[in-house]
Amino acid sequence: MTGRYETDFENAWCPGCGNFGILNAVTMALEATGREKHEIVLVSGIGQAAKLPHSVDVNVFNGLHGRALPAAAGIKMANPGLTVIVTSGDGDIYGEGGNHFLHNIRRNVDIALFVHDNQVYGLTKGQPSPTASAGWTGSLQRSGVISGPFPPLAVALALGCGFVARGYAADPAFTSDLMLQAIRFPGFALVDILQPCVTFNKKNTYQWYGKMVQKLPPDHDVTDREKAMTLALEWEERIPLGVLYRREKPTFEQLHPQVPGLPLGERETPEEAVRALLLRRRAVPG
C-alpha cells in the first residue's frame, strides 16, 4: 500500500483475502485522482469489505449495513465538491441495500460505487450473498441455495447506469484503472469487483477465476448497451472484465436546481427571506 493514505488501522482480514487487492487498487486510484485527502469521502456499510475505509487516510463515513448509498447520496447532494466513493460488500449493497442500489442508479448522483463481490457473507461466517450461485451450500443453506443469483451489472444496465464495469481483486493495477475511470465519470458509476473468499468460498477461488476471467478487447464499443447487457450476463463460459458500458448523462447535482452553489452547510438564511415566506401567506393578498 502506498504511503500517502496509510493509516495504522488493523483490518483483521484473512491472509490472502481479496480485500487486500481491492485496498491496493483503491489507494492507487486515489493517488491518481490528484485529490487531497480532505476532499475525498469513503463511505461504507458493514461487513469485512466495509472496514476498508479505516485503512485509508481520508474522510470516512462507515455507516450501517446496507445504507452506504443513501448516506453517500446525502453527502454528495450537500457538498458536491467532495469526491464521494462507496466501497462495500455484495451483501451490503445488493442485499440489505438493494432498494438503495436501484434508486441511486436512477438518481444518478455522482458517486463511484465499488462492490466487493465474493458471493459470501464473511463477517457472519459463510452465508450466501445475493450474488451466490444456486446450489451453493452455506451454513444456513445445508441443502443449497434455492434463489438464483442477483446480476448486478445487468440490473445496473437495465436502470440506465452510465458507467458499468467489472474488476478483479487479483489484478489491482487493472481494477485501479477501472476505479479511476469510475471516480472521474460524472454520474453514478458501478465497479463490481470479483473477489475470492479464501475462507468461505471454495468454488470461486483464485484458480477458478484465473481460468474464467477475460478482459474485454480494446475495440469493445462501450456505448453499445445491448452488447453490454449480453456481456453482463455471461458467467458460465467466461467472465468479461473491464468497462462494459459508458455513456454520460446529466447528473442529479446538475439537474437539481438547488444543489449548485455553496455547500449546504455554508449557506445563510437571511431573516428577510423567512419574513417573505411568512408574508406570502397573508389571508387576503395585496
Partner 1 sequence: MGIDVNIRVTGGAGQGVHTVSNLIMRMVAGAGYRFHVTQDYVSRIRGGRNSQGIRIGSEPVRAGREEADVLLALNPDLLPDYLPAVGEGGFALADVPSADPPLFRAPLKEMAVQAGSPILANVAGTGAIACALGIPLEIADAVFASDFKGDFVEKNRAALRLGADWAKENLPEKIRERFRLPARSHSRPIILSGNEALALGAIAGGCKFAAGYPMTPGTGILSVLANEGPSVGLVFEQAEDEIAALTMAIGASYTGARTIVATSGGGFALMVEALSLAGMMETPVVIVVAMRPGPATGMPTRTEQGDLEFVLSAGHGEFPRLVLAPGSPEEAFDLAQRAMDLAEEFQVPVILLTDQYLADTVVDIDPENLVVRPLRRHIVRGDSIPRTRQGKYLRHAYTESGISPMAVPGEPGITVVVDSDEHTEDGHLSEDHATRIRMVEKRLRKGVTLAGKTIPPLFTGPPNGDLVLIGFGSTKEVIEETRRILAREGRNVAAVHLRQVWPFPAEEIAGIVPRFGAALTVENNARGQLARVIRSECGVRIDGTVSRYDGLPFTPAALARDVRRRI
List residues binding partner 1 (CB under 8 A): 7, 9, 36-39, 41, 43, 46, 51, 54, 57-64, 67, 70-75, 77-79, 81-82, 99-100, 102-103, 107, 256-259, 261-269, 271, 273-279, 281-286
The torsion angles phi and psi of 162, rounded to 5 degrees, stand at: -80, -15
2 close to 153: Cβ distance less than 8 angstroms: no
- Measure the CA dihedral 223/225/226/230, to 10°: 100
Closer of 250 and 261 to partner 1 (Cβ): 261
Kindly state the smallest distance separating residue 179's Cβ from partner 1, in Å.
20
Within its chain, how far is the Cα of 230 from the centroid? Answer: 22
CB of 257 to partner 1, least distance (A): 6
Nearest residue (CB) to partner 1, 50 versus 153: 50
CA distance 215 to 284: 69
Residue 279 burial (C-beta neighbours within 10 Å; 0-12, 13-18, 19+): exposed
Minimum distance of partner 1 from residue 75's CB (angstroms): 4
Spatial CB neighbours of 270, under 8 Å, sequence gap ≥ 6: none
In terms of Cβ atoms closer than 10 Å to its own Cβ (0-12, 13-18, 19+), residue 247 is: middle
To partner 1, the closest distance from the beta carbon of 45 in angstroms equals 9
Residue 24, sorted as left (phi over 0), alpha (psi -120 to 50) or beta, turns out to be: alpha
- 109 vs 241 by CB, closer to partner 1: 109
Q: Which is nearer to partner 1, 19 or 204 (CB)?
A: 19
Q: Which is nearer to partner 1, 34 or 285 (CB)?
A: 285
Provide the minimum distance between the beta carbon of 261 and partner 1 in the complex, in angstroms, as a whole number.
6
Nearest residue (CB) to partner 1, 109 versus 212: 109
Q: How far is Cα 151 from Cα 153, in angstroms, rounded to an integer? A: 6
Q: Which is nearer to partner 1, 70 or 196 (CB)?
A: 70
- The 3-state DSSP class for residue 241 equals strand
The label of the residue with cell 493509516 reads 7
Cβ of residue 95: shortest distance to partner 1, in angstroms? 14
Q: How far is the CB of 105 from partner 1 (least distance, A)?
A: 11
